[in-house]
Each structure stands twice: as structure tokens, then as C-alpha cells.
Amino acid sequence: MKDDKYIPRPVRLLDLVVVGVGFIHNIASSIETLTGELMELAIYQSNHLTQTNRAWEDMAADLEKLEEDQQ
């Protein structure tokens, strides 16, 4: 049986503090996610550049070997 005379407590300052802290926590979590994604992107780009440079070095070495073989 429901008590029809029950009155819920009023909103207090602490309730607003809890909402504010939750908001700050969500923003911090979003920033952490963003920086993590940026770090992964930077690692991917670094690996790509390393592999590209390695391919150019291999091609240059192959060209030098072809020139030596032709002489």
C-alpha cells in the first residue's frame, strides 16, 4: 500500500555537487578517450612513415645493385 502522505526530500546543495562532479568526470573521461585515440593515430602514422622510408631505402639499394651489375 502506497503512502499518499509521503513527501520526497527537497533538492539540496549536495545533490548539485554530485551532478557537477559527475559532469566533470564525464568530461575528463571524454578527454582521456580523445587523447588515447590521438596517440593511436600518431603511432599508426609513425609506423606508416617508417615502412615508407624502409621501402624507399630498399628501392635505392636495389637501384645501386642494378647499376653495379650493369657495369
Query: Is 2 inside any structural domain?
Result: no
Query: Is 11 inside any structural domain?
Result: no
Query: Is 7 inside any structural domain?
Result: no
The pLDDT value recorded for residue 1 is 56
Domain around 54:
39-71
Query: Is 57 inside any structural domain?
Result: yes
pLDDT band of residue 3 (cuts 50, 70, 90) is confident
Tell me which residue has cell 500500500.
1
Query: Is 64 inside any structural domain?
Result: yes
Question: How far are the Cα atoms of 9, 22, 23 from residue 34, in angstroms, in the given order?
Answer: 39, 18, 17
Q: Write out pLDDT tens, residues 10-54.
A: 999 999 999 999 999 999 999 999 999 999 999 999 999 999 999
Give pTM, 2 decimals.
Answer: 0.65
Query: Is 58 inside any structural domain?
Result: yes
Distance CA 42, CA 4 (A): 61
Number of structural domains in the chain: 1
